Amino acid sequence: MKTKPKGGTRPCRLHKPFIRRRSMVVFMDIQKYKVTGERKFDLKSFDTKPPSSFNPEDTQSIMARNTAELSELQSKLYAQGKSGLLIIFQAMDAAGKDGAIKHVMSGINPQGVHVHSFKQPSPKELSHDYLWRAVKKLPERGKIAIFNRSYYEDVLVVKVHKLYEKLNIAERCKAEDTIEKRYRQIKNFEEYLWENGIVTVKIFLHLSKETQRKRFLKRIDEKDKNWKFSDADLRERGYWDDYQEAYQSAIEATAAEKSPWYIVPADKKPYTRAVISEILLDVMKELNPAYPSITSEQEDSLAEAKKKLMKG
Ligand code: ATP
Ligand code: MG
């Protein structure tokens, strides 16, 4: 996909305003949000806000354009059945994960995708290794799985609250560097998936503390949003800096060329959704799925079937 450094509209080479309007195609630079582990990563240097050049009114046209293309690519992915796609969403509360996922889903054939939300692990889940519950929800080749939270919680909330210390596990597995070990395990796991036909893409919705405060207040003030707020949200907000530090370390340790992170500004929902749809399109284009080609025997049998049907 062509990109332009600071988003906005494509510059008009002819300097004729009407041509610029008629050929209005908005290009978004998603590469600046991509983290592959090649360079030093600093979460603080990433924006939570859209660039000033972004016009929210462009969201709809971006999404419509991308949705059509995504849908076609997904049909091919499904028909071909050679690659699976795992899309992980991680974020602080009220960053807009649910809404973003809903929007992503709107352009995809429900037959080829499933969403799974990872909540606090049950006793049964805790009695297994931490990847166990995620493995069960991995996409088969040809399908897309969306994880609303994921095994990354096991190096985020588990790190912030040192929950690994409470695990009922053999002494030899209890270690100060449990989280560092998990970074390595996760990296290896995603490499394993890549080598077995499943591509992992990780999206962090990067929210500012101030925007979270405003969204929480809205959830309290607006009756139909009350259900979205819980005391636990406020409690976790108290650990804001610890979570930012945990995200910094986890992203730095697990970003890879083949399983990149994207740090998506989350303070303005239309921009967040537009960027996510661009990311997915980019990833799907990279996968480059194609409808399976048919053998000459299959071609003959199709021609035969057609002949019979034409006879009525
Ligand atoms: P929303 O609030 O928008 O409904 P959510 O993803 O925040 O969505 P909740 O039910 O509020 O859903 O929270 C799920 C909680 O489960 C989060 O606080 C998360 O940190 C926690 N959680 C997920 N995985 C683990 C884990 N492995 N260990 C401990 N806590 C976990
Ligand atoms: Mg929540």
Q: Is 153 in the pocket of ligand 1 (CB under 6 A)?
A: yes
Q: Is 158 in the pocket of ligand 1 (CB under 6 A)?
A: yes
Pair 187, 253: CB distance under 8 Å:
yes
Pair 215, 202: CB distance under 8 Å:
no
Q: Which two tokens stand for residue 30?
A: 């998603």
Instruction: Choose the residue to mutate in 119, 130, 231 for probing ligand 1, maximizing ligand atoms within 8 Å of C-beta.
Output: 119
Pair 284, 85: CB distance under 8 Å:
yes
Residue 125 alpha carbon, nearest atom of ligand 1:
27
DSSP character at residue 79: H
The partner residues of 26 in beta bridges, in order of sequence, read 9
Give the per-residue pLDDT at 106. Answer: 82
Please name which ligand lies nearest the alpha carbon of 120: 1
The model's pLDDT over 130-176, given as tens digits with 9 standing for 90+, comes to 999 999 999 999 999 999 999 999 999 999 999 999 999 999 999 99
Residue 154 alpha carbon, nearest atom of ligand 1:
27
The model's pLDDT over 232-265, given as tens digits with 9 standing for 90+, comes to 999 999 999 999 999 999 999 999 999 999 999 9
**Better-predicted residue by pLDDT, 140 or 29:** 140
Closest CA to 152 of 123, 197, 190: 190
> What is the 170 CA–ligand 1 centroid distance (Å)?
26
**Better-predicted residue by pLDDT, 54 or 131:** 131
pTM summary value: 0.90
Give the CA count within 13 Å in the CB-facing half-sphere of 238: 5
Q: Is 120 in the pocket of ligand 1 (CB under 6 A)?
A: yes
Residue 218 amino acid letter: K
Give the per-residue pLDDT at 96. Answer: 96
> What is the 232 CA–ligand 2 centroid distance (Å)?
8
b (16+ CB within 10 A) / e for 267-300: bbbbbbbbbbbbbbbbbbeebebeeeeeeeeeee
pLDDT band at 39 (very low <50, low <70, confident <90, very high): very high
Please name which ligand lies nearest the alpha carbon of 227: 1
Does residue 60 register a pLDDT over 90?
Answer: no
Q: Is 205 in the pocket of ligand 1 (CB under 6 A)?
A: no
**Ligand 1, atom 14, residue with closest C-alpha:** 119
> What is the 12 CA–ligand 2 centroid distance (Å)?
45
Close Cβ partners of 251 (under 8 Å, ≥ 6 residues apart): 35, 41, 43, 202, 204, 261, 263
Give the number of other Cβ atoms within 10 Å of residue 217's Cβ.
Answer: 11
**Ligand 1, atom 22, residue with closest C-alpha:** 120
Measure the N-to-C terminal CA separation of the chain; round to a whole number of Å: 47
| CA separation for the pair 266, 94 (Å, rounded) | 9
> What is the 90 CA–ligand 1 centroid distance (Å)?
10
Give the per-residue pLDDT at 25. Answer: 62
The model's pLDDT over 259-281, given as tens digits with 9 standing for 90+, comes to 999 999 999 999 999 999 999 99
Residue 156 alpha carbon, nearest atom of ligand 1:
20
**Better-predicted residue by pLDDT, 142 or 14:** 142
Give the per-residue pLDDT at 61. Answer: 87
| CA separation for the pair 25, 257 (Å, rounded) | 29
The model's pLDDT over 111-134, given as tens digits with 9 standing for 90+, comes to 999 999 999 999 999 999 999 999
Longest dimension (CA), the chain: 76
Please name which ligand lies nearest the alpha carbon of 97: 1
Burial of 37 (0-12, 13-18, 19+ CB in 10 A): middle
The pairs formed by 3-9 with CB atoms below 8 angstroms and a separation of 24 or more are: 3/27, 3/28, 3/29, 3/30, 3/31, 4/28, 4/29, 5/29, 6/51, 6/53, 7/50, 7/51, 7/53, 7/54, 8/51, 8/53, 8/54
Give the per-residue pLDDT at 59. Answer: 87
pLDDT band at 226 (very low <50, low <70, confident <90, very high): very high
Give the per-residue pLDDT at 1. Answer: 40
Beta strands in 33-162 (DSSP E): 34-35, 84-91, 113-117, 144-148
**Ligand 1, atom 21, residue with closest C-alpha:** 120
**Better-predicted residue by pLDDT, 227 or 17:** 227
Close Cβ partners of 221 (under 8 Å, ≥ 6 residues apart): none
Average pLDDT over residues 40-62: 93
Does residue 7 register a pLDDT over 80?
Answer: no
Residue 97 alpha carbon, nearest atom of ligand 1:
3
> What is the 67 CA–ligand 1 centroid distance (Å)?
29
Residues, the chain, total?
A: 312
Give the number of other Cβ atoms within 10 Å of residue 107's Cβ.
Answer: 18
pLDDT band at 24 (very low <50, low <70, confident <90, very high): low
The model's pLDDT over 186-215, given as tens digits with 9 standing for 90+, comes to 999 999 999 999 999 999 999 999 999 999
Give the per-residue pLDDT at 28. Answer: 85
Distances (CA, A) of 153 to 150, 159, 243, 280: 6, 8, 11, 22
